[in-house]
Amino acid sequence: MSREERAERLGRHIAATRSARLGTVRAAYMTTRISRNTWAEVERGSTSIRSDTYARIESALSWPNGVCVAYLDGLGDLPEAPAEEGPAGALVTQSLDDLPDLLRSEFTTYGVMDPAERARVLQEIVYDYVQESTSRGTTA
């Protein structure tokens, strides 16, 4: 298998694990501070991802350090597959009534933010909630 094929396979595996363990790309960003664009590149299987980016992803997904680069280099296997059920904290599994509690939880979990960052995060969380709820037909 070529490095490009391994990168694509790794990207799909990361996407599935991210979805199962962290939920949205928004939640993944809050955990890793890796931008949405970079997450998209990783999950598409880009071969230009830096090893320190993989290290942050490995930490967020509770994978052994260095496993992504080792897999890309043909020196190891993919980490364990994600559980079949969805993430416990995924916004789409909550009702609209629970959204304020989820927002409060996001801010508590990820520390103190300045007002501009808080406003941006709030906007992205609500946007993600509406997008995912609409795509699943669960909007209130």
DSSP code string of 30-89: HHH---HHHHHHHHHT-S---HHHHHHHHHHTTPPTTHHHHHHTTSSPPPPPPPSSPPTT
Segment 72-76 shows an average pLDDT of: 92
- Same domain? 63 vs 105: no
Domain termination residue (choose one: 72, 103, 127)? 72
**Residue 57: pLDDT band with limits 50, 70, 90:** very high
- Residue indicated by tokens 């037909």: 137
Task: Give yes or no for residue 96 having a pLDDT over 70.
Answer: no
- Residue indicated by tokens 């664009």: 37
**Residue 81: pLDDT band with limits 50, 70, 90:** low
Share of the chain above pLDDT 90, in %: 31
Question: Has residue 15 been placed in a domain?
Answer: yes
Domain that includes residue 54, residue range = 3-72
Task: Give yes or no for residue 19 having a pLDDT over 60.
Answer: yes
Averaged pLDDT score across all residues of the chain: 76
Work out how many domains the chain is built from and give that number: 2
- Supply the pTM of this predicted model: 0.60
Task: Please give the pLDDT value at position 111.
Answer: 54
**Residue 84: pLDDT band with limits 50, 70, 90:** very low
